[in-house]
Structure 1
Amino acid sequence: MRAAGALARRVLLSAGTGIALALVTSWPVLLPIGFAGALFLPEVLRSDGGASAKIDKVSAIAALTEMMRDTLNAAAGLGQAITAAARNAPDPIAAEARELAAVIEDRTVPIDKALRAFGHKLADPTGDLVVIALSHAARNSARDLAPLLADLARAARAEAAMRVRIGVARARTRTAVRVITGVVLGLGVVLYVFDASFLAFFGAPIGQLVLLGISGLFAAGFAWLARLSRPTEQPRLLYSDPDAEHDPFRALAPDPAVHLPGPRRNTAHTYAGMWGRG
């Protein structure tokens, strides 16, 4: 409800901006341009496309995996180790982890099914690897689980570090775009206030079309920037239906078209070598 109210306020403010620009300049084309710019431009220039949230989530999965690894030796069993770690999960995945702990403690659902539901709620490829490893351990009493969890945690840390480096490079690009946008808009305002005759061409019908075309090029550039800022999603390893009757786990990268990044690919191969494909 609050989000809907905020969106409505943004739309009204953007519409007011477009109308004000059209009235002040007598350029009708500034009405849609001003509306679209006021509505989308601040969010595009400010947002990182969810990259920070993705990094926080992957780091949280790594921390939870490390806690599970550390509690395995002290715990009486796998279920107790998962529950103890899940109760202290980092904030980005705390709700999902605590729900997992509650389900396991309730003992009405098998651990592997509870883990599978947990993986689907995380909706993260790195989390899928952890869920697969733990589920196989729950069903097959697999040995050497702690070293595998350590490998998974290292892979998750490496992926988070890689995303941080990519985010830094993208932040520099967004900063350059902010500077360019500010200079273009500021120059236009200064010219209109102090030397309106310089911009008289844009008041003619052909000038309105040119201004619309220039705005379209800017819009295409900002759309490209928004697309580049979105984090790349890797292929999921769990089926989309957690209650399906078939085997809940996909084979790990059996198809050359399925690409896993280096750390996750190495961990997947380690997992496949220890327990097979399930």
Structure 2
Amino acid sequence: MLHFLPASVVGVIAALLLLLNTLVWVPILLAFSLLRLLLPFEPVRRALAPVLAGIAESWIACNSGWMALTQRTSWDVDGLEGLQRRKWYLVNCNHQSWVDVFVLQHVFNRRIPLLKFFLKQELMWVPAMGLAWWALDFPFMRRHSETYLKENPHMRGKDLETARKACQKFALNPTSVMNFLEGTRFSETKQRAQSSPYKHLLKPKVGGIALTLNAIGERFEAILDVTIVYPDGAPTLGQFLCGRVPRVVMRVQRRTVPENLQGADYTVDPRGRAAFRKWVRQLWLEKDRQITALLQQAAGESRGG
């Protein structure tokens, strides 16, 4: 609706609407979180969980509203049939941009339970949003280098323990556990530094998804394997706010956990670790080929148009 305005003006409007939306919903979220702190009983936690999730879903719905107002993005999404809001899902996706989060939230909102992300510890200090993520029980993970862990061996395994405790909370109410297996946003520089064998992806990190499956794998209705493609190039957050994302392509594929991985302990079982790595490598090979095909298809449609 605001497409006639200069992109910079659209960006300012979108940023202000995002800020206003956040300032409206985060205090409401924190008020209910304070009630949960004051009454730290399991029945209260269970009762308030859907209320807190509903507030977050309302924030996402309002974001979708200003996106419709300021964006003219063409959405090509497939694979959403049969999803349920009262089931558990493990969501896996490639990662290219901060825009991925808005895309995932927009597409899945109120189709499946609220997406819960594993976040870097530093994101706790993001104004307003850090408190919101804490209130929603998003786990914050500390990433330590191997050098640091050698100097501080007592810190080894702390992230896994944080993830394990988070999964125990996720098991209480229907949840969609979101996992970016690459652990960071894709770039050609990172790809070269890793010597990644994939054309469009970084090397996947298996530990997080393996621990989640080991902790609450029996709860998951399915693994939702998501592939996001931006045919015109992965956008920055600024480009997204300015309405400069012409097309988004998303494919969602339901997968089941292989029987040989059910109950396998990645942390202590060498065979289980090898099986998880083999399974994830195959997922990543298929995803890499799928991204190539989707980009070729989008290029063909552009030439044909």
More helix by share: 1
The structure with more strand, counted as a fraction of residues: 2
TM interval, short-chain normalised? under 0.3
Q: TM-score, normalised by structure 2?
A: 0.25
- Higher RCO, 1 vs 2 (CA within 8 Å, ≥6 residues apart): 2
- Bigger radius of gyration: 1
